[in-house]
Amino acid sequence: MSSQALLDVERLSVAYPGRDRPFRTVDDVSFRVAPGEALGIVGESGCGKSQTMLAVLRLLPSPVADISGAIRFGGDDLAGIPAKRMRAVRGSGIGLVSQDALSALNPAMTIGAQMAEPLVRYDGMRRRAALERCAELLDLVGLPGARQRLGSYPHELSGGMRQRVLIAMAISRNPKVLIADEPTTALDVTIQAQVLGLIDRLRRELGMALILISHDLGVVAGITDRIAVMYAGRIVETASTTDLFDRPRHPYTRALLASMPRMDEELRERLRPIPGLPPDLEQPPPGCAYHPRCLLARAGCEQSMPQLVRIGAGGAPDHRVRCPVVLEETP
């Protein structure tokens, strides 16, 4: 959007050696996040949304995954800086909250020990002061009895509490960007609503930018400013959150919205799932990866991968779509 992007990812690709030839799990992905902005990345399993974020943090298995493109953050290109500088970015520049809090916490360490570890090792805090700060953070994320919890092991907490601990850990070194990868998928509905509310509040209070990854459009709708929809490793549509829900353009976005059973709509006789299956990334279909499932597919869709093209005039909010068919529609 503007030149003062905090995180600017340009033409990011992640390739793995395949059975016959290399294949890409992330393909030519570009996005920007401004300070304090909340970006949602939406797509089905295997669409590359988590891979994109792990590539940004350089947490993919390094010699196997071949990463290309630029990841600009704080004046550096993260793709090229030495490992030591990258470590300094992790946690204190960009924080990560992952999906399943039970497996994301070390089962053999107390909450306090794992929370305080980088604060003592890298931020020069004394152990006592670090634990004090951890107790404050646990209180900030609404964990009841925060101080006593420092001595607990992960298995002693409920799923919702563990997710709060994981969020507290991710913000413990004051990151400027918080990446939340499916942070509520493993939780009960009532807990999910609370955790989403918590992430939203922390972003505002701490002035962080947020990248929220989810397969559920309902989850990202309420707390993001912009949304990028991914399919088979590529962004197929990106728009402001309101614009995307009001005027979805890409056939995949539309089909995804139509497939959701919704609480706020009249009941339908039957659900409208998307026919077929997402493509095998090792053998993607020629041309547009979505064309075999697309209701608007026409001759030519299997010829070449369309570009992500901006629609509307310069004054309108930035709305891009990767589909020449819908571009010909009259708005």
Partner 1 sequence: MTSDIVVEDLRVHFPVRSGVLRRVVAAARAVDGVSFTVPARGIVSLVGESGSGKSTTGRALIGLAPVTGGRVRLHGEDLATRRADGSLPRLAQIVYQDPFASLNPRMTVGAVLREVLTVHRIVPREAVGKRVAELLDQVGLRPELARRYPHELSGGQRQRVAIARALAVEPRFIVCDEIVSALDVSIQGQIVNLLQDLRDRLDLSYLFIAHDLSVVRHISDRVVVMYGGRIMEAASRDDLFASPRHPYTHALLRAVPLPDPRRKENITDTRPRAEPPDPVAPPPGCRFQRTCPFATDQCRTAEPATVAVSDGHTVACHRHDDPAVIAALAPATV
Partner 2 sequence: MLTFTVRRALQMIPVAFGVTLATFLLGQIIPGDQAAALLGPSSSEQERQALREEMGLNEPVLTQYVTYLGNLFTGDLGRSLSFGRPVMSVLAERIANTVLLSGTAIVVAALLGVAIGTWAAMKPGSVRDRGLTVGVLFFNSIPSFWFGLVLIMTFSLGLRLLPATGMTSIGGGGVVDVVAHMVLPVITLAAWSLAVIARMTRSAVLEVIGNDYVRTARSRGVGEMRVVVRHVLPNALPSVVTVIGLQAGFLLSGAVLTETVFSWPGIGLALYQAISTRDIPLIQGGILLIAIGFVLINFLVDTLQAYFNPKIKLA
User: In the complex, which residues of this chain contact partner 2 (CB under 8 A)?
Assistant: 57, 59, 63, 83, 87-92, 95-96, 98, 100, 103-109, 114, 117-118, 121-122, 153, 155-156, 166, 169-170, 172-173
Write out the two tokens for 272: 């409208």
Is there binding between residue 9 and partner 1 (CB under 8 A)?
no
Minimum distance from residue 260 beta carbon to partner 1 (Å): 6
Looking at the Cβ atoms of 11 and 268, the one nearer to partner 1 is 268
Contact 105, 140 (CB under 8 A): no
Of 178, 221, 226, nearest in space to 202 by CA: 178
- Name which position in 72, 147, 173, 201 contacts partner 1 (CB under 8 A): 201
What is the smallest separation between the CB atom of 155 and partner 2, expressed in angstroms? Answer: 6
Q: Which stretch binds partner 1 (CB under 8 A): 50-58, 156-164, 283-291, 297-305?
A: 156-164
**What length is written for the chain?**
331
Nearer to partner 2, 136 or 156 (CB): 156
Binding mask 113-152 for partner 1 (x = CB under 8 A): -----------------------------xxx--------
Element (H, E) at 29: strand 23-33
Interface with partner 1, residue 206, by CB under 8 A: no
CA distance 22 to 14: 10
Q: Which residues bind partner 1 (CB under 8 A)?
A: 44-45, 142-144, 158-161, 164, 188-194, 196-198, 200-201, 215-219, 221-223, 241-242, 245, 255-257, 259-265, 267-268, 270-275, 277-278
